[in-house]
Amino acid sequence: MAEATLRVYRGDKDGGGHVDYKVPVAPGMVVLDALHYIQGHQAPDLAVRWNCKAAKCGSCSGEVNGRPKLMCKTRMDDLPLDQPITVNPLKTFPIIKDLVTDVSLNYRINKKIPAFTPRENTDWRMQQDDIDRVQEFRKCIECFLCQNVCHVLRDHQKTEEFGGPRFFVRVAGLDMHPLDSVSRTELLKDELGIGFCNITKCCTEVCPEDIHITDNAIIPLKERVVDDYYDPIMWVIRKLTGKK
């Protein structure tokens, strides 16, 4: 049976480092299986967050050989086994222990977003054509890989000024909903800082649900902000028609 070396980050908020573990590689094995093997045979105190092992709960996000991934979806036979496989916690969030990070920042950002607000006397029937777009955004499993890889949060640490891709997806799902009555462009521009996004598409590249975050959520939202704040013709039209 082939053997792999996993170079796993061990530590907490005060510091730490990498430890090498040898793991036998079984057919169909994923990185999370390898970590469970380490927990079961070599390091029972290794902390790793996981739940469904089916790429649907979004718990086991980490960085495998430097790439943000769901560890339950990353097969060992897709990795070069002739060199150590580095397993790190998400870089953007503070470490609690080993591979477990504190992602509560995301819940604080989420609270800034006004919830779904239907119009009064809403007719709850909807056409499929109107709801198609929004359904894509509902696939999000909140693994926060997009938040982790976004360089605005990861490198520039704009955690107070910038919402991040996950929350642009949420706003898109609400703002484009045919029955919602609230405009969130002011929130996007000022509090969620959508202008910090420079469209480098890393969020889309890492999304395990294949949501087209940049093309279908962020860019359309940027265009809505342009409508309301940067387009002089739209400003004149609004003045003439009195429409918001």
Partner 1 sequence: MSQSRNDLQDRRFGATFRTDSWWTEVLPVIIVFGGFGIYATWRAFQGVSYEFGPYLSPFYSPLIDAEHHWLPAWLSPALLILGAPLGFRTTCYYYRKAYYRAFFLSPPSCAVTGVGAGKYSGERKFPFILQNLHRYFLYLAILFIIILAYDAVKAFFFADGFGVGVGSLVMTVNVVLLSCYTFSCHSLRHIIGGKLDCFSCEVAGGARHKAWKGVSILNERHMLFAWASLVSVGLTDLYIKLLCEGTITDLRLF
Three-state helix/strand/coil letters over 49-90: CCCCCCCCCCCCEEEECCEEEEHHHCEHHHCCCCCCEEEECC
Contacts of 149 (CB under 8 A, 6+ apart): 68, 92, 202, 203, 205, 206
Q: Could you tell me the smallest distance in angstroms from the CB atom of residue 16 to partner 1? A: 5
Q: Could you tell me the smallest distance in angstroms from the CB atom of residue 93 to partner 1? A: 11
Q: Which residues form the interface with partner 1 (CB under 8 A)? A: 7, 9-11, 14-20, 63, 65-68, 80, 83, 86, 88-89, 91, 127, 129-130, 149, 151-152, 154-156, 158, 175-180, 193, 195-202, 205-206, 214-215, 219-220, 222-227, 229-231
Integer-rounded Cα Rg, in Å, for the chain is 21
Whose Cβ is closer to partner 1: residue 39's or residue 86's? 86
Q: Could you tell me the smallest distance in angstroms from the CB atom of residue 51 to partner 1? A: 24
Whose Cβ is closer to partner 1: residue 1's or residue 243's? 243
Whose Cβ is closer to partner 1: residue 56's or residue 196's? 196
Whose Cβ is closer to partner 1: residue 60's or residue 194's? 194
CA 172 to CA 138: how far, in whole Å?
Answer: 10
Side-chain half-sphere of 120: how many Cα atoms within 13 Å? 0
Q: Could you tell me the smallest distance in angstroms from the CB atom of residue 66 to partner 1? A: 3
Q: Could you tell me the smallest distance in angstroms from the CB atom of residue 4 to partner 1? A: 14
Tell me whether strands 85-88 and 100-101 are parallel, antiparallel or unpaired: unpaired
Whose Cβ is closer to partner 1: residue 53's or residue 158's? 158
Whose Cβ is closer to partner 1: residue 50's or residue 162's? 162
Q: Could you tell me the smallest distance in angstroms from the CB atom of residue 211 to partner 1? A: 14
Whose Cβ is closer to partner 1: residue 60's or residue 95's? 95
Per-position b or e across 103-142, b if 16+ CB within 10 A of its CB = bebbeebeeebeeeeeeeeeeeeeeeeeeebbebbeebbb
Per-position b or e across 220-242, b if 16+ CB within 10 A of its CB = ebbebbeebeeeeeeeeeeeeee
Q: Could you tell me the smallest distance in angstroms from the CB atom of residue 155 to partner 1? A: 5
Q: Which two tokens stand for residue 117?
A: 């607000």
Q: Confirm if 2 and 58 have CB atoms less than 8 A apart.
A: no
